[in-house]
Chains A and B, each alone.
Chain A
Amino acid sequence: MLFLIIKRIFLGLITLFIVSLITFIGTEVLPGDACTTYLEREAYGAALEACYKRLGLDIPAYERYLSWAYNVIQGDFGYSLSGQMPINEVLGPRIKNSMVLASAAIIIGIPLALILGIITALWRDKLPDITISTITIFAMTIPEFISATLLILIVAIWLQWLPGIVIVPTDVTFFELLPNIILPVIAIAMIMTAHMARMVRSSVIQVMATDYVQMAILKGVPYWQMVFKHVLPNALLPAINVVALTIAWLLGGVVVTEVVFNYPGLGRLVIESISNRDLPTVQALAIILASIYVSINLIADLMTLMLNPRLKSLQIRK
């Protein structure tokens, strides 16, 4: 078991290394760089050269990569090219904001998805299922930029209940932020909940049709005991990985939603730093997003392993 965790962490680190290489090469081969973007029309001659020197862009690419990697291992992502401030300082509040948005969506969305999924499966083809399923399919098919725009139009502009666009400094406190996140959370949770509820539904239906559930019924197990003991543990196991991917997706910044609501999270930072050719920030973001994906997937796999006796004993035997 321990060996497995170590092996997975090692593989995760390799993934991160490859991700950093790819982003580095990617930003390197694209035409233009931070200085041409920053200086715009004055990007020639002495000014450009001075800029290169200042930002350390005059040394060869591989040397830059190595010194950058060395610093990252020590927890320092270097300086942002556009904002001219330490990336750690830029990232800190952004991560916090994204976490707030993601946690709110997770806290509301995941339990809701589970409940809706289970209800639709247990009352399959009956009224609750037909109503909820219609709504979820509807919510699933509307792209988030449309639902977000509609929400702004209805709630913020017509009803004027909530601010439509988040106009706050990046480093606001949690409570100042709270009223601003309601609309983005709804927009994200809608699509996420719909997807997950559908998945939970089909998984529960599949388990309900198994021989062991029929056996439990024939054993005289009361309905709800059967549902909680025999059906749900087996039906929700495959859901763990989907939940994990959703969480990773949320933490990584929901780019479109953040842009529509002007939300100061990681997603918007990604767009901003790419358009600014802010190579160090892009690299830092890639590393952070990749580590979020890697670690959440690792946690999900370990959880599945712990909860599924079949996999557990297989691993131990190996």
Chain B
Amino acid sequence: MENIIHSVKNLSIGFRSKKNDEISILRNVTTNIKKGETVGIVGESGSGKSTLALAMMGYVKQGLYTIEGECLFESSNLLKMKNKDLEQIRGRKIAMIPQNAGQSLTPNLKIGYQIDEALRLHTKFNKNERDKKISELLNKVRLPSPETMAFRYPHELSGGQQQRVAVAMALAGKPDLLLLDEPTTGLDVTTQAHVLELLKFIAKDTGTSMVYVSHDLGAIAQVSDRIIVMYAGEIVLEGPARSILKSPIHPYTYGLLKSIPKLSLSGLPDSMPGSQPQPGNIGIGCSFYDRCKIAEDKCKKNSPSLEHILELQTSVRCFNYKNLKKFNDKINSITQKKNISKGVNEILNLTDVSISYAKQKILDQILNKITDTNPTVKDINIEIKKGETIALVGESGSGKSTILKSIAGLLKIKDGKIKFENDRVLSSDLKKRDSNDLRAIQLIFQNPDESLNPNHTVEQILSQPLKLYFSLTGNELKKKVAELLNKVRLGEFYMTRYPRQLSGGEKQRVAVARAFAAKPDIILCDEVTSALDVSVQAAVLNLLQTLKEDFGTTYIFVSHDLAVVRAISDRVAVLYQGRLCEIGPSKNVYQFPSHPYTEVLLGAVLEPDPDIKPKLVAKDIVEEKPPEKGCCFQGRCPRILGDKCKNETPPWQIGDDGNAIRCHISVEDLKKNQIKK
């Protein structure tokens, strides 16, 4: 096979445990990368996908070592190569585009220097040619004003720009193979779509082979020709992108696809039970046995091998894959959530709320002068009814978490009122709230690793709100803790465990249980699923929905993920730069006509379907501050009308369906233009 550029042969990588056992993270991985091909490697955290990508550059992280196998590039094994020889290949023949470019660019060196370094190492250009090449590269990755960009430091760029610099750096050595390790994770939806589009263009333009590692099937679907699915350190499925995404023949891939919330469907995605086994805890049978719907007895005792099916050009590691075929037509079906009757009573009301991060100068404080005429969050009016789930969506900097914090009393509001139950004004100062108000509003944070005290057992964590608000003690307390654990589907035996002994999903369940321990009326969910794997995310979403049905709690759900929001919420508020753009019932917000910003956001969502392409309608720029006057979205709006948008604050237009859009363009015109497309 002439056109194979990189091949991985029977690769196992692992580490020695404290008991000196050999524990493998990667197990017998074999695959080939062809010239000009883009291969997507997909898997959840801990599946070994990043270890595989790094091994393909001959790099094994500290503490790990190669157990067996080889990574062949130009017929030499990179894993046995000397550092000196590797330096000739890394950056020149194989280049890496890292996850989180912000942390992967050296903070004390200018952008230009870091690109120049790669050029100096891997090309024969002289100083002048290199300078020219730097601006050429910066231009190619579509960074604004490449001349001045070279003299800036990494921290002076936005996340999307940093990622582009990393791409430019990787392209500097004209590599034959590009390895991309979650290159768009952590970027805003619109930025992510733009960066992906750039990567696709580069692949086509330069004919470079790419290996795209990600947990995000949506991103993988957009770029890959071929997909490798990894589970617990093994390849479980490998084949052409389309057939893997449309009719997966491995139960894990099937479950994974089912657990992704989709933009086009309302309702909650199915979750997969259990979680991926930890390295070292994998039994003799199939590693997916515990979570598999179609498992049989033989799966428990024998580990299936990777079987190649010629007519599908697919390799699959499953005894029963044929049985899965009959499920495949249901891949796009979704369970509808129960329509629970929502109260008509208003529980929380935000009136003209604005929040400012600007510090007042001492003199202005004394004179009681308001200096900040352009606060971070402004004019927020939202009424929240008892028992509904309202979502706040927007990109980073949209003020969605800021609003949540001030409802929780963690941030003082500058203007406006937050009213709670029967028009009682809620103080925005936590210390002035009484115990009952504190109990009524609970928070669940994004990252359970940081929100749970590592030195407390689960029992202690859950006891705290019970002691504080209900003064429970002794057996009564213990009984209640056990009850809570059962509610979030964790057994009583979890009581004595510490957070570090729990998986990510289990930790978030404990955090959910802690919030519910206070019997709150409102729970504020701040990106509660974004740190979780997709299959776990679906489980947490389902849990939140069931608990809500049982307790009638109101959720205020903040997320950047439009598909997740679609799955869980009844009503959606779209925010840009701390201003409301659109608010309405979930099904209407996700339907045209929409506010141009909602349109941009919806267009940028990546679906795990190679046939649905993102629509990039707005410029990819980052605005640091909201504009002083006019519409908040004027700087990026694809449908801007002119001076009117720049000078006048747009009016609210409320449709018959209860959907309110704040735009100068009439709803009829928006409808005409958006639906035509």
Q: Which chain A residues have a beta carbon within 8 Å of chain B's beta carbons?
A: 209-223, 229-230, 233-234, 237, 307-310, 313
Task: Tell me the smallest distance from the CB of A224 to a CB of chain B, in Å.
Answer: 11
Provide a sorted-by-A list of 24 A–B residue pairs whose CB atoms are within 8 angstroms: A211-B98, A212-B103, A212-B106, A212-B107, A215-B96, A215-B98, A215-B106, A216-B106, A218-B59, A218-B90, A218-B98, A219-B96, A219-B117, A219-B121, A219-B169, A220-B89, A220-B91, A220-B121, A220-B122, A222-B87, A230-B109, A233-B108, A237-B108, A309-B155
| CB closest chain-A residue, reference B155 | A310
Given contacts A217-B59, A220-B121, A220-B122, contact A309 B107 (CB under 8 A): yes
Instruction: Note all chain B residues with C-beta closer than 8 A to A307.
Output: 108
Q: Quick one: which of A211, A219, A223, A237 has the most chain B CB within 10 A?
A: A219
Complex CA distance for A237 and B87, rounded to whole angstroms: 28
Instruction: Note all chain B residues with C-beta closer than 8 A to A219.
Output: 90-91, 95-96, 117-118, 121, 169
Helix, strand, loop or mixed for chain A's interface? Answer: helix
Which residues of B, 147-165, contact A by the 8 Å Cβ criterion? 153, 155-156
> A211 and B100: CB pair below 8 A?
yes
> A212 and B104: CB pair below 8 A?
yes
Complex CA distance for A277 and B219, rounded to whole angstroms: 77
Instruction: Note all chain B residues with C-beta closer than 8 A to A237.
Output: 108
Q: Does B86 contact A (CB under 8 A)?
A: yes
Enumerate the 3 nearest inter-chain pairs by beta-carbon distance, A residue then B residue, closest first: A220-B91, A220-B90, A215-B104
Given contacts A229-B109, A313-B153, A313-B155, contact A220 B87 (CB under 8 A): yes
Task: Tell me the smallest distance from the CB of B414 to a CB of chain A, in Å.
Answer: 21
Q: Does B48 contact A (CB under 8 A)?
A: no
> A234 and B104: CB pair below 8 A?
no
Q: Does B305 contact A (CB under 8 A)?
A: no
Task: Tell me the smallest distance from the CB of A125 to a CB of chain B, in Å.
Answer: 10
Interface residues of B, CB < 8 Å — how many?
A: 34
Q: Mark B80-95, 1 if CB is under 8 A from A, else 0.
A: 0001101111111001
Instruction: Note all chain B residues with C-beta closer than 8 A to A218.
Output: 54, 57, 59, 90-91, 95-96, 98
> B105 and A212: CB pair below 8 A?
yes
Complex CA distance for A211 and B95, rounded to whole angstroms: 15
Task: Tell me the smallest distance from the CB of B607 to a CB of chain A, in Å.
Answer: 30
Given contacts A215-B98, A309-B155, contact A220 B88 (CB under 8 A): yes
Q: Which chain B residues have a beta carbon within 8 Å of chain A's beta carbons?
A: 54, 57, 59, 62, 83-84, 86-92, 95-96, 98, 100, 103-109, 117-118, 121-122, 153, 155-156, 166, 169, 173
Which residue in B54, B89, B104, B117 is a CB contact (below 8 Å) of A221?
Answer: B117
Given contacts A219-B91, A220-B88, A309-B155, contact A234 B121 (CB under 8 A): no
| CB closest chain-A residue, reference B98 | A215
| CB closest chain-B residue, reference A213 | B106
Complex CA distance for A223 and B82, rounded to whole angstroms: 12
Complex CA distance for A218 and B109, rounded to whole angstroms: 17
> A310 and B90: CB pair below 8 A?
no
Besides the known contacts A212-B103, A220-B87, A313-B156, 13 further A-B residue pairs in the complex with CB atoms under 8 A apart: A211-B98, A212-B107, A218-B57, A218-B90, A218-B96, A219-B118, A220-B173, A221-B87, A307-B108, A309-B107, A309-B153, A310-B107, A310-B153
Instruction: Note all chain B residues with C-beta closer than 8 A to A308.
Output: 108
Given contacts A219-B90, A219-B121, A313-B156, contact A234 B96 (CB under 8 A): no
Instruction: Note all chain A residues with C-beta closer than 8 A to B86.
Output: 220
Task: Tell me the smallest distance from the CB of B348 to a CB of chain A, in Å.
Answer: 37
Which residue in A221, A223, A233 is a CB contact (below 8 Å) of B121?
Answer: A221
Task: Tell me the smallest distance from the CB of A222 to a CB of chain B, in Å.
Answer: 6
Complex CA distance for A214 and B88, rounded to whole angstroms: 16
Complex CA distance for A221 and B120, rounded to whole angstroms: 10
| CB closest chain-A residue, reference B91 | A220
Task: Tell me the smallest distance from the CB of B26 to a CB of chain A, in Å.
Answer: 18
Complex CA distance for A119 and B95, rounded to whole angstroms: 30
| CB closest chain-B residue, reference A215 | B104
Q: Quick one: which of A215, A218, A230, A308 has the most chain B CB within 10 A?
A: A218
Instruction: Note all chain B residues with C-beta closer than 8 A to A210.
Output: 103
| CB closest chain-B residue, reference A230 | B106
Instruction: Note all chain A residues with C-beta closer than 8 A to B155.
Output: 309-310, 313
Task: Tell me the smallest distance from the CB of B76 to a CB of chain A, in Å.
Answer: 16
Complex CA distance for A215 and B106, rounded to whole angstroms: 9
Task: Tell me the smallest distance from the CB of B624 to a CB of chain A, in Å.
Answer: 10
Instruction: Note all chain B residues with C-beta closer than 8 A to A230.
Output: 106, 109
Task: Tell me the smallest distance from the CB of A48 to a CB of chain B, in Å.
Answer: 51
> A309 and B100: CB pair below 8 A?
no
Which residue in B90, B100, B108 is a CB contact (below 8 Å) of A217?
Answer: B90
Task: Tell me the smallest distance from the CB of A236 to a CB of chain B, in Å.
Answer: 10
| CB closest chain-A residue, reference B173 | A220
| CB closest chain-A residue, reference B108 | A233
Instruction: Note all chain B residues with C-beta closer than 8 A to A213.
Output: 106
Instruction: Note all chain B residues with C-beta closer than 8 A to A313.
Output: 153, 155-156
Task: Tell me the smallest distance from the CB of A71 to a CB of chain B, in Å.
Answer: 35
| CB closest chain-B residue, reference A232 | B108
Instruction: Note all chain A residues with C-beta closer than 8 A to B107.
Output: 212, 234, 309-310
Instruction: Note all chain A residues with C-beta closer than 8 A to B122.
Output: 220
Complex CA distance for A137 and B88, rounded to whole angstroms: 40
Task: Tell me the smallest distance from the CB of B152 to a CB of chain A, in Å.
Answer: 9
> A215 and B117: CB pair below 8 A?
no
| CB closest chain-B residue, reference A209 | B62
| CB closest chain-B residue, reference A216 | B106
Complex CA distance for A213 and B91, rounded to whole angstroms: 14
Complex CA distance for A310 and B166, rounded to whole angstroms: 19
Instruction: Note all chain A residues with C-beta closer than 8 A to B153.
Output: 309-310, 313
Instruction: Note all chain A residues with C-beta closer than 8 A to B109.
Output: 229-230
